Amino acid sequence: MPDIAFLALSGLVIVSAIFALEARELIYGAVGLAFSLIGVAGLFILLGAEYLAMFQISVYVGAVVVLILFTIMLVRRESGRILEEEEPGRLGRAGILVAGLVALAVAGAVLVLVPASLEAPEFYRVPLRELGRLLASSYAIALVILGLLVGATIVGGLTLVRVEREEKTSGATQ
């Protein structure tokens, strides 16, 4: 049973990741990305990290993908065609080559370095309370830094998107 689930989820992740990069319309690409991220959340569930999977879905699929979709809808020419000037061919082949080499190298290195048989318990769910307790005690500094990051993101993002009155373009408002 978990075998089927794992195979199906990994197939979903890989196929929709490729679709996200190769789909002609950028909107479809974003949908593909959403499915890929949902697949990753499914893998988290298989690994026993349910809360993390929910975190992944609500933050990535529920928030980041929405922002991506909205930005794609803003970043277009009036003609309705998505801005996309791909040139397949040399660059694509080079990309495949580089990516394959890197992936092989990483997989090989990790597989060689990791002991072949790890004794993992068959069933395991992350104890939720323990997660929160750790976050509040051992990771307190990380949490404070996260708070700073949050503040910086808000202020930075708002300042970036803000348009001064004189240089605002016709399409950008309303």
Residues 126-145, mask of contacts with other proteins (x by CB under 8 A):
xxxxxxxxxxxxxxx-xxx-
> What is the enclosing helix (H) or strand (E) of 154?
helix 140-161
21 sits near other proteins (criterion: CB under 8 A): yes
CB of 82 to other proteins, least distance (A): 9
Question: How is residue 31 written in tokens?
Answer: 């949908």
Q: First vs last Cα of the chain: how many Å apart?
A: 52
Residues 54-73 that bind other proteins (CB under 8 A): 54-73
CB of 132 to other proteins, least distance (A): 3
Share in percent of the chain as helix, strand, coil (round to 5): 70, 0, 30
CB of 11 to other proteins, least distance (A): 10
> Around 40, how many Cα atoms within 13 Å sit in the side-chain half-sphere?
16
CB of 119 to other proteins, least distance (A): 5
Taking each continuous run of H as one helix and of E as one strand, the counts in the chain are 7, 0
Cα angle 118, 121, 127 (rounded to 5 degrees) comes to 120
24 sits near other proteins (criterion: CB under 8 A): no
Q: Are 28 and 82 in contact (CB under 8 A)?
A: no
Size of the site for other proteins (CB under 8 A): 126
Residues 84-113 that bind other proteins (CB under 8 A): 84-87, 91-92, 94-96, 98-100, 102-104, 106-107, 110-111
78 sits near other proteins (criterion: CB under 8 A): yes
CB of 139 to other proteins, least distance (A): 6
